[in-house]
Chains A and B, each alone.
Chain A
């Protein structure tokens, strides 16, 4: 409906408004506003910066072979820079990893898990989806020939489950998401259509508006045209599906409006999915780490694996990185002209360095998300065979579980790995305090409430992660308060002497691979500009 102050918002066009904001509140205000409008929260950059000039023998020491580090190495090397990458893990990709048979993970607690999934099965315990508008990520999947497939991110045929609870009409019951969506949409449309029809909204609407709105509501809610009533619809599913011969099918009855209103799952329905969750959603065929493998094919020869950065030093002329070999425990020093550090801030703030006090203080303003997932391998795809669920998420209010997600690969094969929980914050912390066997039990008990005894019977093996306990990550992703975004974040985007940072934490796409990649693009350009400027100065002096 049109607001009263319609005139004032119309008076200023959006671009002008952003400029005004920029003038009064600085870039942070502009970004904040754009975020809120979902305008550039999208990954805005399509391709790496088009840089000219040559490296002139400069050496950029890159800390971390995650996506940010490998992006910078790949692009800087094209310009002729020497770009050794120091990586603490034994593999490239950082958080972009996938658990498959033999994958070993040791938490800072010392707890070790080895994935025992069957050959051919895998679980993306870290990143798992690529939205169509993350053009930077898609730039590299194309560049490195990483085949993609669809990740089903929304499935109305999955379940909505409510925990047992007194007075809840859906207590301990599973219903199809499609039923709730059809019913809440239908009833709401009915109410509104009747109000419009009875001229109750005439202050807001012209005669023509009224007719059009009613047409829209009839179609949106699937209402009976003459009575303007919602009586259910084929889209919510049938009692018995239509078939061949003399089987027209048996329509289903809607739930009562009041009951639907009390089903908490309706509060996750949106007119349009949020910006990062919309179709088309992709995943690399064979696991998200295939993207990391793509990068590694190009820059793997530059990576020094199993080498932990233990000190970061600099002076006016260059940088000196102290590195400890995790195998031998021996330390050595690596020198260069610049350092591009992509180590997560949760880890970096514990590494002794020559970063300025202002910079270190800014780093301390960030918090990291606690988050966990579990992959459960089942011997039979009962969700496909019995429930006709192909990908997507079952929504629950089971604490510590959140959604259960069905695999978007290997359709109709015998076995599959589903995601048994994806938790955050206190829930993630609490579940992470459990042993891996306890986590599995926790996940199985919850899932059995929805899928019955098949969930226990068909279960074969599990692999869980708690990102806040993973060495060299210590958290899922950076999380900036609006205060820190304004006061600390801009500082960290600037060079501190010859050290620059990059990674998902230096983006407005925290928790997304695009954030890591595009941050690397921005920071490597700064290095190149500095190198060009100083090279010219040297030449002029000569």
Chain B
């Protein structure tokens, strides 16, 4: 169950995020959103341009991926399935979903507030939401910037995440 857990010693994970053009990113985001929730006929996805590198510090425990997986299995897998492939017609796949790996603002907002039938998970603590978000952005074949509790708090407060991009990126330090 979702008891509050003690987090092991934190380590600063250094993440490198790709910096694509903002326009391309927005198109990818919009397409991802449609794929994820809402429009039945998604439009062609436009790949973001090849990226420069941007480095952002995130504050996550060393075993964030494993912790994230545990929380994912508890809170998400009933619908989105443990392989992240979702259920067609009911719950969108998270694996390979550009909305999931896109700029984190979108997915964090969705987790906090729910959307299109998906319940809100704003009741979970920021640390757990950070682990879940980071996990789904890096599980399966996904690769994207992980997210820490401060970033969750920022979105919770209604503010924009101060990231230029947040698109595809190298997987940071610890992990699979």
Q: Which A residues contact B (CB, under 8 angstroms)? A: 108-109, 344-347, 349-353, 360, 363-370, 399-400, 425-427, 429-430, 432-433, 466, 468-469, 471, 474-475, 479, 481
Q: Other CB < 8 Å A-B pairs besides A346-B117, A426-B75, A430-B1, 16 of them?
A: A109-B87, A345-B117, A360-B38, A363-B116, A364-B115, A367-B114, A368-B117, A368-B118, A400-B1, A425-B123, A426-B2, A426-B74, A426-B121, A469-B90, A474-B117, A481-B120
Nearest Cβ in chain B — how far from A40, in angstroms? 26
Known contacts A426-B74, A429-B75, A430-B74: does B2 contact A475 (CB below 8 Å)? Answer: no
Q: Would you call B117 and A349 a contact (CB within 8 A)?
A: yes
Nearest Cβ in chain B — how far from A288, in angstroms? 24
Known contacts A399-B1, A430-B75, A469-B79: does B119 contact A350 (CB below 8 Å)? Answer: no
Known contacts A351-B40, A433-B77, A469-B79: does B124 contact A426 (CB below 8 Å)? Answer: yes
Nearest Cβ in chain B — how far from A519, in angstroms? 18
Known contacts A109-B87, A474-B90, A479-B119: does B1 contact A469 (CB below 8 Å)? Answer: no
Which of B1, B2, B113, B116 is A346 in contact with, Cβ under 8 Å? B116
- A360 and B75 CA atoms in complex are apart in Å by 27
- A349 and B74 CA atoms in complex are apart in Å by 26
Q: Would you call B74 and A425 a contact (CB within 8 A)?
A: no
Q: Would you call B113 and A481 a contact (CB within 8 A)?
A: yes
- A66 and B124 CA atoms in complex are apart in Å by 33
Collect the chain B residues with CB atoms within 8 Å of residue A344's CB: 117
Q: Would you call B90 and A471 a contact (CB within 8 A)?
A: yes
- B88: nearest residue on chain A (CB-CB)? A108
- Kindly state whether residue B91 has any CB partner on chain A within 8 Å: yes
- A352 and B115 CA atoms in complex are apart in Å by 18
Which of B38, B77, B87, B118 is A367 in contact with, Cβ under 8 Å? B118
Q: Would you call A475 and B1 a contact (CB within 8 A)?
A: no
- Kindly state whether residue B89 has any CB partner on chain A within 8 Å: yes
Collect the chain A residues with CB atoms within 8 Å of residue B75's CB: 426, 429-430
Q: Would you call A365 and B115 a contact (CB within 8 A)?
A: yes
- A75 and B81 CA atoms in complex are apart in Å by 42
Q: Would you call B78 and A352 a contact (CB within 8 A)?
A: no
- B118: nearest residue on chain A (CB-CB)? A367
- A427 and B89 CA atoms in complex are apart in Å by 24
- Contacts of B72-130 to chain A: CB distance below 8 A: 73-79, 81, 87, 89-91, 113-121, 123-124
- A144 and B83 CA atoms in complex are apart in Å by 48
Q: List 14 A-B contacts (CB under 8 A).
A: A108-B87, A345-B117, A346-B116, A346-B117, A350-B89, A352-B40, A352-B41, A353-B40, A367-B118, A426-B124, A427-B1, A468-B79, A468-B119, A471-B90
- B81: nearest residue on chain A (CB-CB)? A109
- A404 and B124 CA atoms in complex are apart in Å by 25
Q: Would you call A367 and B117 a contact (CB within 8 A)?
A: yes
Q: Would you call B119 and A370 a contact (CB within 8 A)?
A: yes
Collect the chain A residues with CB atoms within 8 Å of residue B2's CB: 426-427, 430
Which of A349, A352, A353, A433 is B37 in contact with, Cβ under 8 Å? A349
- A234 and B102 CA atoms in complex are apart in Å by 65
Nearest Cβ in chain A — how far from B122, in angstroms? 10
- Kindly state whether residue B39 has any CB partner on chain A within 8 Å: yes
- A430 and B41 CA atoms in complex are apart in Å by 31
Residue among A369, A432, A433, A481 facing the most chain B CB atoms (10 A cut-off): A433
Known contacts A364-B38, A430-B2, A433-B73: does B78 contact A469 (CB below 8 Å)? Answer: yes
Collect the chain A residues with CB atoms within 8 Å of residue B40's CB: 350-353
Nearest Cβ in chain B — how far from A525, in angstroms? 28
- A474 and B91 CA atoms in complex are apart in Å by 9
Q: Would you call A433 and B115 a contact (CB within 8 A)?
A: no
Nearest Cβ in chain B — how far from A425, in angstroms? 7
- Per CB-CB distance, the 4 closest pairs between chain A and chain B, nearest first, are A346-B117, A367-B114, A433-B78, A352-B40
Collect the chain A residues with CB atoms within 8 Å of residue B87's CB: 108-109
- A344: nearest residue on chain B (CB-CB)? B117
- A432: nearest residue on chain B (CB-CB)? B78
Collect the chain A residues with CB atoms within 8 Å of residue B39's CB: 360
Collect the chain A residues with CB atoms within 8 Å of residue B81's CB: 109
Q: Would you call B78 and A349 a contact (CB within 8 A)?
A: no
Which of B77, B78, B117 is A475 in contact with, Cβ under 8 Å? B117
Nearest Cβ in chain A — how far from B110, in angstroms? 10
Q: Would you call B38 and A349 a contact (CB within 8 A)?
A: yes
Q: Would you call B90 and A108 a contact (CB within 8 A)?
A: yes
Collect the chain B residues with CB atoms within 8 Å of residue A474's CB: 90, 117
Collect the chain B residues with CB atoms within 8 Å of residue A466's CB: 78
Residue among B76, B78, B91, B115 facing the most chain A CB atoms (10 A cut-off): B78
- B114: nearest residue on chain A (CB-CB)? A367
Collect the chain B residues with CB atoms within 8 Å of residue A475's CB: 117, 119
Collect the chain B residues with CB atoms within 8 Å of residue A346's CB: 116-117
Collect the chain A residues with CB atoms within 8 Å of residue B115's CB: 364-365, 367
Nearest Cβ in chain A — how far from B2, in angstroms? 5
Known contacts A349-B117, A433-B73: does B37 contact A364 (CB below 8 Å)? Answer: yes
- A251 and B76 CA atoms in complex are apart in Å by 51
- A479: nearest residue on chain B (CB-CB)? B119
Nearest Cβ in chain B — how far from A147, in angstroms? 36
- A432 and B81 CA atoms in complex are apart in Å by 11
Collect the chain B residues with CB atoms within 8 Å of residue A427's CB: 1-2
Collect the chain B residues with CB atoms within 8 Å of residue A350's CB: 40, 89-90
CB 8 Å contact bits of B23-66 with A (1 = contact, 0 = none):
00000000000000111110000000000000000000000000
Collect the chain B residues with CB atoms within 8 Å of residue A368's CB: 117-119
Which of A109, A364, A399 is B116 in contact with, Cβ under 8 Å? A364
Which of A399, A426, A471 is B123 in contact with, Cβ under 8 Å? A426
Q: Would you call B37 and A425 a contact (CB within 8 A)?
A: no
Residue among A363, A430, A479 facing the most chain B CB atoms (10 A cut-off): A430
- B117: nearest residue on chain A (CB-CB)? A346
Collect the chain B residues with CB atoms within 8 Å of residue A351's CB: 40
Collect the chain B residues with CB atoms within 8 Å of residue A345's CB: 116-117
Nearest Cβ in chain A — how far from B94, in angstroms? 15
- A399 and B2 CA atoms in complex are apart in Å by 9
- A339 and B157 CA atoms in complex are apart in Å by 41
- A363 and B37 CA atoms in complex are apart in Å by 11
